[in-house]
């Protein structure tokens, strides 16, 4: 079976799936958008691998806050992805994380070419955009949310099959009339690539983090997040008598928000761009405690992949996020702390953080529970079996 997998974000577990499918004898091309700024997986061929890597959007930077230009870019990325599919001539295609303008252009191309494809639905983008527009943007932009919803619905109906990451997505697909071809497969993280390391590791030493207590956030900070909460949390921890440094590994508009808030509240802050993927275990291992943020309105339809990486890294996890989120359930099950993503939660969150940071045995115990859960839940074979079957059915 000749397969094109396009994960717009370039996340680790999607490329791990492509590697597994290639290892099972399928002819696989893995694509991503190089212009999209995020933590990337292992996107390079190893010796003896048959898996091919084909990025789109090279040499560009996405204008996240310039919406008109961003729309043009996303439409062009759809055309670029169509050209890639025309060159690769796959039997079937699987697409994840693509913006709806990109996906609409690409789905229309696949429809004309009569190439079956699978939507790996990581986020209901219409819900995220409309909720954000209602709180922070103009009424005109809310109309954009309606257009996105129409495009997302149209693409879902064109797909031969849909894979969603949580049961909460099924209600949306029932409304769209696509639930009969929808399968739930929760996300995971690569156990062999993200693993526990010593707190005092080479990366921590290089960035002078080995001898200070740290709260660490690594990953995307976008529309679903409130970056200032991280700084407020660190300030509460410090005010309670526990010195701590906030470490954020991120690129994008949140960086300025964090820098300004840290200066205003006098919070020690280390800001770093996304790090090479092979250093990710050390990056996460440098955090005494790892933090996840997710806005309340986005809670049911977004499972932060960073949470899964945190669990693999074997560290205590604090989630400032909706309790109904699938990732929140994972954090709670390993005795992590989950609280609503608002300023009113910071006092309770800081109390828990101080308790964990002050007690090494407790930190180690919570970290071991995190890793054990990851090893129980993130086995690749079962997930790969399901995806392989779905792709084969799409071809038939």
CA distance readout (Å), 39 to 241, 281, 323: 33, 13, 25
User: Which residues are within 8 A (CB) of 374 and not within 5 positions of it... i.e. 6 or more apart?
Assistant: 189, 191, 308, 311, 312, 314
Phi, psi of 375 (to 5 degrees): -65, -30
Q: How far is CA 340 from CA 68, 87, 225, 227, 345, in A?
A: 33, 47, 12, 14, 6
pLDDT of residue 38: 85
Which whole number is the average pLDDT over 223-230?
80
CA distances from 356 to 57, 214, 393 (A): 43, 11, 48
User: At residue 215, what are phi and psi to the nearest 5 degrees?
Assistant: -105, 125
Question: Each residue of 324-349: pLDDT tens digit?
Answer: 888 899 999 999 999 999 999 999 99
pLDDT at residue 390, as a whole number: 97
pLDDT of residue 212: 96
What's the whole-number mean pLDDT along residues 5-16? 96
366's CB contacts (< 8 A; 6+ apart) are 315, 316, 317, 334, 335, 336, 356
Tokens representing 36 are: 């999209």
Q: Which residue did the predictor score with more confidence, 299 or 12?
A: 12
CB of 304 closer than 8 Å to CB of 292: yes
State the Cα–Cα distance between residues 278 and 138, nearest whole angstrom: 41
**Tens-digit pLDDT profile for residues 234-262:** 999 999 999 999 999 998 788 999 999 99
Average pLDDT over residues 257-283: 96
- What value does the mean pLDDT take over residues 59-63? 79
CB 330 within 8 A of CB 311: yes
Q: Measure Cα distances from 246 to 87, 208, 232, 321 in Å.
A: 46, 13, 10, 19
Q: 172: pLDDT confidence band, cut at 50, 70 and 90? A: very high
- In this prediction the pTM is 0.88
pLDDT one-digit tens code per residue, 65-101: 677 888 899 999 999 999 999 999 999 999 999 999 9
- Domain spans of the chain? 2-188+379-395, 202-377
Model pLDDT for residues 178-201, shown as the tens digit of each residue = 999 999 999 999 999 999 999 999
CA distances from 123 to 15, 96, 166, 301 (A): 18, 9, 10, 6
Whole-number Å distance between alpha carbons of 308 and 370? 9
- Residue 23 CA to residue 30 CA, distance in Å, equals 13
pLDDT > 70? residue 377: yes
Per-residue pLDDT at 106 exceeds 90: yes
Is the pLDDT score of 133 beyond 90?
Answer: no
Judge whether residue 127 has pLDDT over 80. Answer: no
Report which of residues 241 and 126 the model is more confident about.
Answer: 241
| Percent of the chain residues topping a pLDDT of 70 | 93
Fold category of 202-377 in CATH: Rossmann fold (3.40.50)
* pLDDT mean across residues, the chain: 91
Q: How far is CA 240 from CA 79, 83, 206, 207, 346, in A?
A: 54, 57, 29, 26, 12
pLDDT at 140 over 70: no
Identical fold between 2-188+379-395 and 202-377? yes
CATH code assigned to 2-188+379-395: 3.40.50.2000
Ranking 105-119, 163-177, 272-286, 293-307 by mean pLDDT, the lowest is 293-307
pLDDT at 107 over 90: yes
């Amino acid at each position: 079976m000749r397969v094109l997998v396009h994960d717009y974000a370039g996340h680790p577990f999607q490329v791990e799936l492509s590697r597994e499918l290639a290892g099972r004898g399928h002819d696989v091309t893995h694509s991503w958008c190089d212009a999209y700024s995020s933590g990337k997986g292992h996107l390079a061929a190893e010796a003896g691998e048959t898996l091919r890597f084909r990025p789109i959007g090279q040499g560009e930077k996405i204008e996240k806050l310039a919406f008109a230009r961003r729309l043009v870019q996303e439409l062009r990325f759809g055309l670029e992805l169509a050209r890639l599919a025309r060159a690769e001539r796959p039997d079937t295609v699987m697409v994840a994380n693509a913006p709806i303008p990109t996906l609409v252009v690409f789905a229309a191309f696949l429809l004309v070419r009569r190439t079956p494809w699978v939507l790996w639905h990581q986020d209901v983008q219409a819900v995220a955009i409309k909720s954000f527009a209602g709180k922070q943007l103009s009424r005109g932009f809310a109309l954009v949310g309606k257009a996105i919803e129409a495009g997302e619905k149209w693409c879902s109906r064109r797909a031969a099959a849909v894979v969603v990451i949580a049961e909460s997505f099924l209600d949306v697909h029932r409304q769209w009339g696509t639930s009969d071809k929808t399968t739930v497969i929760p996300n995971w993280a690569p156990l062999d690539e993200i693993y526990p390391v010593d707190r005092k590791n080479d990366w921590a030493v290089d960035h002078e983090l080995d001898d200070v207590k740290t709260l660490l956030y690594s990953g995307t900070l976008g529309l679903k997040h409130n970056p200032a909460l991280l700084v407020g949390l660190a300030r509460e921890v410090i005010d309670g008598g526990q010195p701590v440094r906030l470490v954020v590994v991120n690129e994008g508009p949140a960086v300025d928000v964090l820098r300004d808030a840290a200066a205003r509240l006098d919070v020690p802050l280390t800001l770093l761009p996304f790090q090479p993927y092979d250093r990710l275990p050390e990056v996460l291992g440098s955090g005494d405690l790892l933090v996840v943020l997710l806005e309340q309105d986005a809670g049911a339809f977004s499972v932060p992949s960073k949470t899964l990486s945190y669990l693999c890294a074997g560290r205590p996890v604090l989630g400032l996020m909706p309790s109904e989120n699938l990732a929140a359930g994972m954090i709670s099950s390993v005795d992590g702390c989950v609280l609503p993503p608002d300023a009113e939660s910071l006092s309770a969150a800081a109390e828990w953080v101080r308790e964990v940071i002050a007690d090494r045995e407790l930190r180690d115990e919570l970290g071991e529970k995190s890793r054990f859960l990851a090893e129980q839940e993130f086995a690749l074979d079962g997930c790969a079996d399901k995806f392989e079957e779905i792709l084969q059915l799409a071809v038939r």
